[in-house]
Amino acid sequence: MVSNENIYPLLNGLVLVGGKSQRMGIPKEKIQWYGKEQCYYLVDLLKAYCKTVYISCRAEQEVEMSDKLEGDPIYKFLPDVYTNIGPLGGILTAFDLEPDRAWLVLACDMPLIDSAAVDFLIQRRDPKKIATAFTNPLNGLPEPLCTIWEPKGCSILKQLIAQKKLSPRQALIQQQVSLMLIGPQDANILTNVNTHDEARYAKAIIANKSQDR
């Protein structure tokens, strides 16, 4: 399902895997929550909604993953041009590649994001804003790494760098973004997994969902 290009800028997907997973101790993008390494699971998920999907990574990760895939053309890698500034660097690298596209950004350490959440976000997309994002009901803050960033958001994000501010959440807070408030019963979809305890919590939720089907 690709956005109508006559109404909205075409939508690309960006799966962020460039973190170093220091607290987890193992690469979070390689965890198999659903029988496949998470970075590839998310790419496959986004392909149903996006024109093209890229894996945003560090340069050394691209080499490692490309070698492992043995040139498999199914997956596209986009190494960071803006280095050492966290996920903001990956998002800006994507805009430099295709500045006229909107980018649906997903972090690899949010394993409870599913097709229902992605569909919910896309159906409520507002291209007149710089972004469409979920608001986490647990803290009232927008979630920048499960967000559709519109082309007009690029200049705002670059202003952050000029101000030495590296949090894309600040752009969502400062600008009039289109925020999707999810109910407390759905708050788990934005669970961020950085530790083994958090991983056990997420696995339990995934197991319960599987039993309910």
User: What is the reported pLDDT for 76?
Assistant: 93
Give whole-number Cα distances, 210 to 43, 100, 114, 207, in Å: 21, 39, 13, 5
Helices 153-162 and 87-97 cross at an angle (nearest 10°) of 130
Q: Answer yes or no: are the C-beta atoms of 194 and 202 closer than 8 Å.
A: no
Number of helical H runs and strand E runs in the chain: 7, 7
- Render each residue's pLDDT in the chain as its tens digit; 213 residues: 444 445 789 999 999 996 765 666 677 888 999 999 999 999 999 999 999 999 999 988 888 888 787 766 789 999 999 988 989 999 999 999 999 999 999 999 999 999 999 999 999 999 988 999 988 877 888 899 999 999 999 999 999 888 888 889 988 988 867 676 665 457 788 888 989 889 999 899 888 877 665
Distance CA 115, CA 101 (A): 21
- CATH code of domain 11-212: 3.90.550.10
Q: Record the tokens describing residue 34, joined without a space.
A: 């659903």
